[in-house]
């Protein structure tokens, strides 16, 4: 029996795959057709226990056929269109990937492999702009964007399938970063820009609302939690978070300090970069993840910033 990871070439999928391979598992990694694969994916394939297969999640029939072909005992469905702007501009196309593919997965699970275990990923964006902090599994959902609405739909579908007695876990991760993160995300943008400015390759760092606060953790730790969620006795929904919120301003100040830059000289505000749907502050309460898994985030904010800056600096 194989373990299937969709989006194996993404940040979370790749770290999860490396951890499972280290544990001796055999994997099938699904990638998007025609997409150029990073070097760490080639290394997994060359190791001999990770079979890569291409599948377009916008084609439900193709995804169903992939599931029937491999009959995985575990499925980590991590492939998604995760950039909110893309979801707003292409709601139908993004929904086919983020929602319809999960409907196909759950239908396959009910009809053909009710003994298999499945994990799907929601997102902390489902909480919108919450009045109380920190947020946990009981925080009322209030999705403010198309991406958030899609992730709330994932959550609701997982709960419904779980009530039918099928092993369906749902992770609700808060922001999590790593050197595999692209600059579409502000944490990577700030850290990589600071390193480039230090090298003289970039003049300024432009940011939108710097008072926005987020709960940022280290992606490999979140991948570990996802793996453990399919190893416990019963399926559940878990918030994955550090419990600490830091502003974008703190992020930029920390990156500048690490690189010896003057924040006032190199960082500029650009209101055009601010997103109206952004919550002012978000922090997660991962108490249930500790109770259910014995999991907690251990990499601190300053450590994570340094790790990201060093990655771009070649350190």
Domain definitions of the chain by residue range: 3-177+217-243+287-292, 186-214+245-282+300-313
pLDDT at 309 over 90: yes
What angle do helix axes 301-313 and 248-259 make, rounded to 10 degrees? 50
pLDDT at 165 over 90: yes
CA distances from 171 to 121, 158, 228, 237 (A): 5, 10, 11, 6
In this prediction, residue 49 carries a pLDDT of 76
In this prediction, residue 10 carries a pLDDT of 94
Q: Are 154 and 98 in contact (CB under 8 A)?
A: yes
pLDDT at 205 over 90: yes
Q: Is 3-177+217-243+287-292 a CATH 1.25.40.10 domain?
A: no
Label residue 220 by pLDDT band (50, 70, 90): very high
Q: Are strands 27-31 and 117-121 parallel, antiparallel or unpaired?
A: unpaired
Give the Cα-Cα-Cα angle 137, 185, 147 (nearest 5 degrees): 50
As a whole number, the mean pLDDT across the chain is 94
In this prediction, residue 47 carries a pLDDT of 67
Q: What is the pLDDT of residues 39-87, one digit of tens each?
A: 888 888 776 778 999 999 999 999 999 999 999 999 999 999 988 889 9
Architecture field, domain 186-214+245-282+300-313: Alpha-Beta Complex (3.90)
Please indicate whether residue 22 or residue 277 has the higher confidence score (pLDDT).
Answer: 22
Which pTM does this prediction carry? 0.95
Interval 15-30 mean pLDDT:
94
Tokens 């196309």 locate to 93
């Amino acid at each position: 029996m194989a373990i299937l990871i969709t989006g194996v070439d993404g940040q979370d999928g790749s770290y999860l795959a490396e951890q499972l391979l280290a544990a001796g598992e055999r994997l099938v990694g699904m990638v998007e057709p025609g997409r150029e694969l990073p070097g760490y994916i080639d290394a997994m394939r060359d190791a001999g226990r990770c079979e890569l297969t291409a599948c377009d999640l916008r084609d439900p029939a193709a995804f169903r056929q992939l599931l029937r072909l491999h009959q995985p005992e575990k499925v980590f469905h991590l492939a998604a269109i995760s950039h909110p702007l893309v979801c707003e501009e292409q709601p139908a196309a993004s929904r086919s990937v983020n929602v319809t593919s999960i409907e196909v997965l759950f239908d396959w699970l009910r009809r053909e492999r009710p003994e298999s275990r499945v994990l799907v990923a929601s997102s902390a964006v489902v909480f919108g702009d919450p009045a109380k902090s920190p947020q946990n599994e009981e925080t009322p959902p209030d999705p403010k964007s198309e991406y958030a609405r899609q992730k709330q739909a994932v959550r609701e579908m997982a709960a419904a399938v779980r009530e039918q007695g099928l092993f369906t876990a749902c992770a609700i991760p808060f922001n999590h970063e790593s050197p595999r993160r692209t600059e579409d995300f502000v944490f990577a943008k700030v850290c990589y820009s600071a390193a480039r400015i230090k090298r003289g390759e970039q003049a300024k760092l432009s940011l939108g609302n710097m008072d926005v606060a987020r709960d940022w953790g280290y992606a490999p730790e979140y991948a570990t939690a996802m793996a453990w969620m399919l190893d416990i006795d019963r399926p559940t929904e878990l918030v994955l978070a550090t419990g600490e919120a830091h502003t974008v301003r703190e992020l930029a100040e920390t990156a500048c300090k690490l690189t010896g830059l003057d924040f006032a000289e190199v960082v500029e505000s650009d209101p055009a970069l601010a997103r109206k749907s952004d919550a002012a502050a978000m922090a997660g309460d991962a108490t249930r993840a500790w109770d259910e898994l014995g999991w907690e985030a251990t990499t601190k904010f300053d450590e994570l910033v340094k790790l990201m800056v060093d990655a771009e600096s070649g350190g």
